[in-house]
Amino acid sequence: ENLKIEDTSVCMVHSPAEMQRGLEAVEKQSQQYIQEPETKWKDSIHERIGERPKINLLQSSKDRLQRRLKEKDEVTVETTNPEKNKMDKLIEILNSMRNNSSDVDSKLTTFMEEAQNSTNSEEMLGEIVKTIYQKAVTDRSFASTAAKLCDKMALFMVEGTKFRSLLLNMLQKDFTMREELQQRDVERWLGFITFLCEVFSTMRSSTREPFRVLLLQSQDMKEDAVLCCSMELQSTGRLLEEQLPEMMMELLAIARNKMLCPSESMLTRSLLLEVIELHANNWNPLTPTITQYYNKTIQKLTA
């Protein structure tokens, strides 16, 4: 039942020795940025921003940035005219959940109990999985909570069908058509990637192993995709590298190339530099000073 996905569309760009030298140079350069006087840094950022076209992010990406910068509370997604049936209570509980809220664990438990009492057929179980999945991929702020809920309900079984099997089938379906999804609906594509990363970080197989999922971004990366990638790597980077070290090396090589490419936006380069620094720090949180540097930079670049 493991979700095993491979993507061979990305090739190696650097040799290991070149990558190491490049990483050392980037780390040294980033440290020099931190040591510059704040006034000089502000003037420099202001001048460089004036040279670049305005960055247009999707509203959902702006919301994620604002949550990161603690400027905005999460909003509840309202249901659009749900039918009056036994799914109503489950949808109500689902919409009341918020990431990091004090009562999220109790609501997860309440949802599980209600689902167990309401589910009497494989069809009903499929509806529950679909409802959770649709909310997770259309509301990126809910992805983390959805992954926790799916982990708790993974072994829930009705008529011989497990919750986990239905969920992985949905993930597999969207993964196989990810390129088409990216072209047709970028918002949903980003939501899918975010949720898939959260599933990888949270859920485990029956042997307590992570699902071996590999996500490599397209060579043609836009700001929204880079933002999604960088934020998910902050939470899943360590686990991804443990499971797929060679693929992580390729991903970091792509990130370095993109970061050093003059044609990329300053926001893209800043986000990728932060990922490279996190990797150099063994995926541990960066110091408050460095984190503040990136937060201020992102604020200025997206203002």
Pairing of strands 161-162, 157-158: antiparallel
Lowest-confidence region among 65-69, 75-79, 204-208: 75-79
Does any domain span residue 48? yes
- My answer on whether 267 and 167 are in the same domain is no
- pLDDT tens, position by position, 8-57: 333 333 444 444 555 455 455 545 544 555 555 555 555 555 556 667 77
Does any domain span residue 77? no
Does any domain span residue 179? yes
Q: For residue 276, what are the contacts with CB-CB under 8 A and spacing of at least 6?
A: 23, 26, 27, 252, 255, 256, 259
- My answer on whether 218 and 201 are in the same domain is no
Q: Indicate the Cα dihedral angle 141, 143, 146, 148, nearest 10°.
A: -110
Higher pLDDT pick, 135 / 200: 135
Q: For residue 56, what are the contacts with CB-CB under 8 A and spacing of at least 6?
A: none
- My answer on whether 203 and 218 are in the same domain is no
- My answer on whether 100 and 206 are in the same domain is yes
Does any domain span residue 60? no
What is the pLDDT averaged over residues 179-198?
88
Cα angle 183-184-188, degrees, rounded to a multiple of 5: 100
| Residue range(s) defining the domain that contains residue 34 | 1-55+214-303
Q: Is 205 exposed, middle or buried (0-12, 13-18, 19+ CB in 10 A)?
A: middle
- My answer on whether 225 and 122 are in the same domain is no
- pLDDT tens, position by position, 228-261: 888 888 888 888 888 888 888 888 888 888 888 8
- Write the single-letter amino acid at 139: D
Does any domain span residue 78? no
Tally the domains of the chain: 2
CATH number of the domain encompassing residue 121:
1.25.40.180
- My answer on whether 131 and 197 are in the same domain is yes
What is the pLDDT averaged over residues 206-226?
57
- Residue after which a domain boundary falls, among 211, 246, 261: 211
DSSP label at 80?
S
- My answer on whether 193 and 123 are in the same domain is yes
- My answer on whether 261 and 296 are in the same domain is yes
Q: Is the Cβ–Cβ distance between 246 and 253 less than 8 Å? A: no
Q: Is the Cβ–Cβ distance between 133 and 167 less than 8 Å? A: yes
Task: Say what the pLDDT of residue 102 is.
Answer: 67
- My answer on whether 101 and 182 are in the same domain is yes
